[in-house]
Amino acid sequence: MPGLGELPLVPVHVQDAEGVWDLNWQRTGARNMLRHYLNSETILELTAEQARYFHVPLGNLPADPTIFAADLFYARHLMKHNFLLWCSPTERPDLGGREADDNRLLTECEENSSVVTNNPGCYSTVCIELNIDGLAVNTLLQSHHVNDIEGTSSSVSFDTIPQASLEDMMGGQVTVLPSYDETALCSGAFRVLRSMVSAWLRDVSLYKNVFADFQILHFYRWLRSSSALLYDPALRRTLHNLMKKLFMQLVAEFKRLGSVIIYANFNKIIICTKKRTIEDAIGYIEFVVQSIRNKELFHGIDISYQQCWEYLMWLDPSNHGGVQGKLPAGLTEVGVGQDGSTATKHNEEEAEEDERESNEDINDEEDDEGPAILMNWNVVEHLRNVGGCREYFGAVIAGYISAIYQHLQHVEQPQTPVRRRRLGSQSQILPQPLGIGRFATTAEFAKQLINGEMAQKLYKITQTIHEKALKQAKNLIKENDEDQFSWSKNSHMDLEKVSLEFVKTVCKVLSLDSSVQDEVTKVRRNMLRLINVGDFSDEAVWHDPCVSFVLPEVICKACNHCRDIDLCKDNYQSTENDSPVWQCPLCRTSYENSEIEYLLLDIMHRKAMAYTLQDLQCKKCLQIKMENMPEYCSCAGDFQTLVSRNDLAVYLKIFRGIAQHFKMPLLLETVEFNIQMNPGLIA
Quote the least distance from Cβ 639 to Zn ion, whole Å: 8
3-state secondary structure 463-489: HHHHHHHHHHHHHCCCCCCCCCCCCCH
Q: Which of 640, 565, 649 is nearest to 607 (CA)?
A: 649
150 backbone dihedrals φ, ψ, rounded to 5° = -80, -5
Gap between the Cα atoms of 560 and 302, Å rounded: 14
Quote the least distance from Cβ 79 to Zn ion, whole Å: 36
3-state secondary structure 346-398: HCHHHHHHHHHHHHHHHHHHHHHHCCCEEEEEHHHHHCCCCCCHHHHHHHHHH
Longest CA span, the chain: 90
Which CB sits closer to Zn ion, 286 or 564?
564
Quote the least distance from Cβ 114 to Zn ion, whole Å: 19
Which CB sits closer to Zn ion, 423 or 558?
558
Q: Which of 151, 157, 161 is nearest to 190 (CA)?
A: 161
532: region left, alpha or beta (phi > 0 left; psi from -120 to 50 alpha): left
Quote the least distance from Cβ 585 to Zn ion, whole Å: 8
Given a contact cutoff of 8 angstroms between Cβ atoms, the answer to whether 292 and 269 are in contact is no
Gap between the Cα atoms of 542 and 504, Å rounded: 6
Which CB sits closer to Zn ion, 191 or 625?
625
Gap between the Cα atoms of 572 and 426, Å rounded: 39
Which CB sits closer to Zn ion, 48 or 635?
635
Which CB sits closer to Zn ion, 433 or 637?
637
Which CB sits closer to Zn ion, 252 or 559?
559
N-terminal to C-terminal alpha carbon distance within the chain: 60
In terms of Cβ atoms closer than 10 Å to its own Cβ (0-12, 13-18, 19+), residue 338 is middle
Quote the least distance from Cβ 551 to Zn ion, whole Å: 15
Instruction: Provide the CB-side half-sphere exposure for 539 (13 A, CA).
Output: 17
Quote the least distance from Cβ 548 to Zn ion, whole Å: 23
Q: Which of 226, 228, 199 is nearest to 211 (CA)?
A: 199
Which CB sits closer to Zn ion, 174 or 636?
636
Quote the least distance from Cβ 394 to Zn ion, whole Å: 29
Which CB sits closer to Zn ion, 268 or 438?
268
Q: Would you call 625 helix, strand, or coil by DSSP?
A: coil
Quote the least distance from Cβ 645 to Zn ion, whole Å: 21
Q: Would you call 70 helix, strand, or coil by DSSP?
A: helix
The residues facing 43 across adjacent strands are: none
Quote the least distance from Cβ 623 to Zn ion, whole Å: 5
Which CB sits closer to Zn ion, 250 or 584?
584
CA angle (401 as vertex; 255, 312 as ends), nearest 5 = 15
Residues at the interface with Zn ion (CB under 5 A): 556, 558-559, 561, 584, 586-587, 589, 618, 620-621, 633, 635, 637
Given a contact cutoff of 8 angstroms between Cβ atoms, the answer to whether 553 and 544 are in contact is no
Which CB sits closer to Zn ion, 307 or 589?
589
Q: Would you call 543 helix, strand, or coil by DSSP?
A: coil
* DSSP H or E run through 272: strand 268-272
CB-CB neighbours of 217 under 10 Å:
14
Length of the chain: 683
Quote the least distance from Cβ 369 to Zn ion, whole Å: 30
Gap between the Cα atoms of 194 and 178, Å rounded: 23
Gap between the Cα atoms of 240 and 40, Å rounded: 40
Quote the least distance from Cβ 663 to Zn ion, whole Å: 22
CA angle (283 as vertex; 281, 289 as ends), nearest 5 = 100
Which CB sits closer to Zn ion, 224 or 466?
224
Which CB sits closer to Zn ion, 561 or 605?
561
Which CB sits closer to Zn ion, 514 or 589?
589
Quote the least distance from Cβ 638 to Zn ion, whole Å: 9
Given a contact cutoff of 8 angstroms between Cβ atoms, the answer to whether 584 and 527 are in contact is no
Quote the least distance from Cβ 591 to Zn ion, whole Å: 9
Which CB sits closer to Zn ion, 76 or 620?
620
In terms of Cβ atoms closer than 10 Å to its own Cβ (0-12, 13-18, 19+), residue 240 is buried
Gap between the Cα atoms of 39 and 286, Å rounded: 44
Quote the least distance from Cβ 236 to Zn ion, whole Å: 22
